[in-house]
Structure 1
Amino acid sequence: MRFPTVISRVRGAAALAVVVLAGCASGLPFQSSASRQGAGEPAPPTEMITEQLIQVQKQQAALQRHQDISSLIVKNPAPYAIGAGDVLSIVVWDHPELAGAGMPAAAAAADAGTLAASVAANATPPGFVVDHMGRIQFPFAGLLPVQGLTEEQARALLSQKLAKYIANPNVTLRVQSYRSKRVYIDGEVKSPGLQAINDIPMSLTEALNRAGGLLPTADQSRIAIERDKKHYDINLRELVQKGIDPNTVMLAPGDLVRVHSRDESKVFVSGEVITPKSLTMHDGRLTLNEALGESGGVSPLSGDARQIYVVRKTPEGATRVFQLDARETGSIAMAEEFELRPKDVVYVAASPLANWNRNLSLLFPGALTSAVGVTTRP
């Protein structure tokens, strides 16, 4: 008779499955990972998520985020200082004979027709170009050092030189083309590239606006500034929370500003959840509760709410494993307070019954189905 044979097979499968699954019923097998690898390295210990652990994590995160950016904060920026490469427009009133001197340095001796062609070719507007030594050449004044001076200071210096030849000279001097100081904007902005520093102070927000603003994929919590081989991480939202006006973060010539993408700060949710997926952090913040919620939550059929893990790779290269028991009192509040970090992996382990069913199906495919089929026949 076939029925006892099938039943015996099922009983044998169940007995063998109990032995095989004895070590699997505990959930995520971190303890046996070293033996499977054969390297003899100890598995990372599992740390339970508690109120004390969350407080320690918050303190560590605050220390990591604390960075001295006082060198970037300038509340009263100085006026623009003339630099090498700038083009100056100079007018001496009542002396039109000096107006012809305002020509590009490369075409100072050219006629009007040649001058127009040279200007178009070199894209240099008419004016007095500050040479590499920070000087301009002006009639009667000779070589005039103007680098590092403001427009007002350069005008006063030129008036002083011309006073030896012209009575009470009335001079107008301004920067016609700003070419000596630039910053570079890269990353998640509409128009990345070079931005010239002009008479309007180049703050961080000014630079971002000139680059067309932030893209929807930009991470406002990860804006990097590179200056003199130093790296500064700027979190715009955190600055506002601290009462620091982002307009007071001033850029200097040669600064590199990079706006990171939110896709670089992903968190991965896998295991026994409704919808395993990768999630982008919300301007640098995503809690464990939010990650589980956006993934549909723990599967009611196969998930084990007692075994919710967070696997994290530290900057030093070590691996840390955190566990949350969602059945404990206050676990939801702790999940909301536990902040994830970029590249964290959230894993929900299967329940012991789900593990038993899956492994039994792998060991003896069709055994349970055959047993059910026999018992239900008339």
Structure 2
Amino acid sequence: MNASNTQFLARAYRAVLAAAFAFALAGCASSIHFRSQDGAGADEPAPPTEMITEKLIAAERQQHREQANVELENLLVPNPPPYAIGSGDVLSIVVWDHPELAGNAMNTGSLAADPSGANTAPPGFVVDHLGRIQFPLIGMVGVDGKTEEQARALLTAKLAKYLANPNVTLRVQSYRSKRVYIDGEVKSPGLQAINDIPMTLVEAINRSGGLLPSADQSRIVLERGQQRYLLSLRDLVQKGINPGMVMLAPGDVVRVHSRDESKVFVSGEVLTPKALTMHDGRLTLNEALGESGGISPLSGDARQVYVVRKTPERTRVFQLDARVAGSLAMAESFELQPKDIVYVAASPLANWNRNLSLLIPGALTSAVTATNRP
């Protein structure tokens, strides 16, 4: 290699070093950038970073507590009302000393015509879609929304016009008007009929065979109409609230989530990046870092520990400076949520080494190739 080629190679080497230095300095910035949704154009600046402090942790706890209390106010029923008759229910009505008025007599002809019973209506009096039953002597009687005692008193009053001192017994024989649906990590998911036993959250789970080992007791979703409630059995017990006071309503859908759906993702400059499963809905930032092996002592920047959280309103970015006194205590108090992303940024020196190793070998090869051309 002649002198001119050597000088050219030296100049190229210095140019590469300068470019690598500038590129490394640019990579040392602490801000996070998100690419636009369409994938085109320059990166967009990240949402404002919120430093993890004692004040922020207290505010997050208070907000969570207030939201949970508002939801519980609509669900807790200390003294559930008695069962109300509805359309589709089958009533057993007996008028003593008047067997001709019994509901079972209505199906005698059907049983004789169809011995198999396949097309036989249920014995008793079926409440129609308008909430009425047809009873001998008195005709159509509205019983929708009434308790057994109220319906019995109504029939007694109407029969008193035709019978002397009628003695009426009325009970619900088949509960078919009100149901709830249980889905998710239970042994027997499906529809559960509401009967005279109050359908509480605990009762519904027990009727479904109980929770599976894979169930997340902190993520039980109750959907009622357009409302959606997130319940945690662990939080209820810690607050001294009996989960048996959470009353279900007809048409409610209860879904018990799996533990696998409640994961936190740890990436960046940690020893073992991984997806972590929360422990019954609880995982702190300190636990997440510990289970991932901690911040890498060679490449991690303890000043830049980020938590990225997607909320329905916006994306929030939290930052912890692990060098500050008391940071470990704050990390232990900072509660993570499912789908959170914990990211530890690289140190400026690590960025410098990586950028340099990426740029210099390719640039030197190009420079040598250019000098060896005839």
Shorter-chain TM-score category? 0.7 to 0.9
1:206 aligns with 2:203: yes
- 163-172 or 52-61, which moves further after superposition? 163-172
Q: SS in structure 2 opposite 1:102?
A: helix
Conservation of the 8 A alpha-carbon contact between 1:222 and 1:260: yes
Q: 1:140 to 1:58 in 2, by over 3 A?
A: closer
Identity of aligned residues (%): 70
Q: 1:257 to 1:10 in 2, by over 3 A?
A: same
Q: Which residue, 134, 138, 150 being the options, matches 2:135?
A: 138
Q: Which residue, 326, 329, 332 being the options, matches 2:328?
A: 332
Q: SS in structure 1 opposite 2:70?
A: coil
Task: Supply the distance in 2 between the matched residues of 1:130 and 1:44 (Cα, whole angstroms).
Answer: 58
Q: Which residue, 340, 354, 358 being the options, matches 1:358?
A: 354
1:303 aligns with 2:300: yes
1:323 aligns with 2:319: yes
After TM superposition, the score normalised by the length of structure 2 is: 0.80
Superposed counterparts of 1:158-173, under 5 Å: 158-173=155-170
Task: Supply the distance in 2 between the matched residues of 1:259 and 1:158 (Cα, whole angstroms).
Answer: 43
Shift of 1:68: 4.5
Task: Supply the distance in 1 between the matched residues of 2:85 and 2:51 (Cα, whole angstroms).
Answer: 61
The code of the aligned residue for 2:90 comes to V
1:224 aligns with 2:232: no
Task: Supply the distance in 2 between the matched residues of 1:303 and 1:72 (Cα, whole angstroms).
Answer: 46
The code of the aligned residue for 2:330 comes to M
- 43-52 or 270-279, which moves further after superposition? 43-52
Conservation of the 8 A alpha-carbon contact between 1:90 and 1:102: no
Aligned length, in residue pairs: 355
Superposed counterparts of 1:200-349, under 5 Å: 200-317=197-314, 319-349=315-345
Q: Deviations over 1:280-312 (max 9, x none)?
A: 333333211111112121223332323222223
Q: SS in structure 1 opposite 2:306?
A: strand
Task: Supply the distance in 2 between the matched residues of 1:231 and 1:25 (Cα, whole angstroms).
Answer: 43
Q: Deviations over 1:148-188 (max 9, x none)?
A: 22222333333444445555444332111001112222333
Q: 1:337 to 1:256 in 2, by over 3 A?
A: same
Shift of 1:266: 2.6
Q: SS in structure 1 opposite 2:109?
A: coil
After TM superposition, the score normalised by the length of structure 1 is: 0.79
Paired residue for 1:373? Answer: none
Q: SS in structure 2 opposite 1:267?
A: strand
Q: 1:25 to 1:148 in 2, by over 3 A?
A: closer
Q: What's the Cα RMSD here?
A: 3.4
Q: SS in structure 1 opposite 2:25?
A: coil
1:181 aligns with 2:183: no
Q: Deviations over 1:185-239 (max 9, x none)?
A: 2333333322111110111211122222233343333333333433333333223
Task: Supply the distance in 1 between the matched residues of 2:74 and 2:53 (Cα, whole angstroms).
Answer: 38
Conservation of the 8 A alpha-carbon contact between 1:266 and 1:278: yes
The code of the aligned residue for 2:27 comes to C
- 14-23 or 351-360, which moves further after superposition? 14-23
The code of the aligned residue for 2:82 comes to P
Task: Supply the distance in 2 between the matched residues of 1:113 and 1:334 (Cα, whole angstroms).
Answer: 78
The code of the aligned residue for 2:111 comes to A
Q: 1:337 to 1:130 in 2, by over 3 A?
A: same
1:120 aligns with 2:122: no
Shift of 1:272: 1.4
Paired residue for 1:110? Answer: 109
Q: SS in structure 1 opposite 2:308?
A: strand
Paired residue for 1:72? Answer: 75
Q: SS in structure 2 opposite 1:72?
A: coil
Q: SS in structure 2 opposite 1:22?
A: helix
- 244-253 or 139-148, which moves further after superposition? 139-148
Q: 1:96 to 1:32 in 2, by over 3 A?
A: closer
The code of the aligned residue for 2:109 comes to A
Q: Which residue, 46, 50, 55 being the options, matches 1:52?
A: 55
Paired residue for 2:23? Answer: 20
Task: Supply the distance in 2 between the matched residues of 1:128 and 1:109 (Cα, whole angstroms).
Answer: 14
Q: 1:40 to 1:247 in 2, by over 3 A?
A: closer
- 198-207 or 336-345, which moves further after superposition? 336-345
The code of the aligned residue for 2:64 comes to A
Shift of 1:245: 2.0
Residue ranges of structure 1 left out of the alignment (5+ in a row): 369-378
Shift of 1:40: 7.8
Shift of 1:8: 7.2
Q: 1:215 to 1:227 in 2, by over 3 A?
A: same
Conservation of the 8 A alpha-carbon contact between 2:32 and 2:45: no
